[in-house]
Amino acid sequence: MTTVGEPEQLRLETTARPAARRGRVVVRVEAAGISFAEVQTLRGLHPFPPKPPCVPGYDLVGHIVEVGPGVTGWHVGDRVVSMPRTGAWQEYAEVSAASLARVPVELDAGEAVALVCNGVTAWQMLHRSARVRPGATVLVHGAGGGVGTLLTQLAVRHGVRVIGTASPAKHDAVRALGADPLDYRGDVAGEVRRLASRGVDAVFDHIGGTGLDVGWSLLAPGGTLVSYDSSVAGYPPGQWFRPHLPALRRVIGWNLAGLVGATRGRRARTYYVKPGPRFRDDLASLFTLVRDGVLRPTVARRYPLEEAGSAVRELIDGGVVGKLVLLP
């Protein structure tokens, strides 16, 4: 990525293979994920923007080919995942050893990388942020997306009823995951109230803005709204903070109101996936579910590295069910 712009401006370049510096390793990348984080990065609207020229790519799976000084517990040949947030879209990526987690050798690379950012996000929002219990009802926005398909599967497996918004073209796929699909362009609030008259126990929102007000109004007493992203549509490049401020203001305001007992026990949370011990533990749990046949990450399409621009364009245009993957 040499400049802020559209995905068609991405260029494929050949450089020297990186060397592992202290505390880092070099990974030969098997698969890398494609997400809206890259769309935000390309448009200069990601909350933690790298400065061009840079290599995009939030997460990866591959094998260690070089171990740098000071690294312990990792060896050449180990199969690992990492979430470097940038730099995954290349054949060889140098990443921090502290960011690594192990991957079972039998897992498909595309399915494994779908679990790194998206899967851990879904798991932690369900079990750590909202702490949804069996028997609850939740609203999942974007139930056909990379996070949404996994969140829906995990919730259904947990004994939770899921109402999921998606475009009509994705309704069959959302229904197959075990959710009740709703057209996100329709009267979502009215339909949710019809399906869950007492309200929902959690709302998972990846759009932000005024839509959060609707989600908040649909919460049952004691329910939790989790905001985990914000749409950047319509914002000029470079104003990376502006798309995320409306959500942050709302969450702070609702939680301040909760301190004086004005929210009927409802809570609001923002979520951002972070590496660390919980990340590794939760990712290991997801790998076990996949290995046992309980969870199936949906890989929508696999692109060669040279078609990264086309892959991002497909994501922007919509209609993708699950995760898009790059194969360096």
Q: What is the pLDDT of residue 239?
A: 67
Tens of pLDDT, residue by residue over 98-154, are: 999 999 999 999 999 999 999 999 999 999 999 999 999 999 999 999 999 999 999
Q: What is the pLDDT of residue 18?
A: 96
Domains of the chain and any CATH numbers: 7-113+274-327 (3.90.180.10), 117-270 (3.40.50.720)
pTM (two decimals): 0.94
Which residue, chain included where needed, has tokens 């990846």? 206
Is a pLDDT exceeding 80 seen at residue 234?
A: no
Select from 195, 179, 196, 194 the least CA-distant residue to 141: 179
Question: Cα(286)–Cα(289) distance, rounded to whole angstroms?
Answer: 5
Q: What is the pLDDT of residue 237?
A: 73
Tens of pLDDT, residue by residue over 253-267, are: 999 999 999 999 999
* Residue 208 one-letter amino acid: G
Read off the pLDDT band of 44 (50, 70, 90).
confident
Q: What is the pLDDT of residue 209?
A: 84
> Which residues lie below 8 Å from residue 307, measured CB to CB, with a gap of 6+?
none
* Residue 153 one-letter amino acid: Q
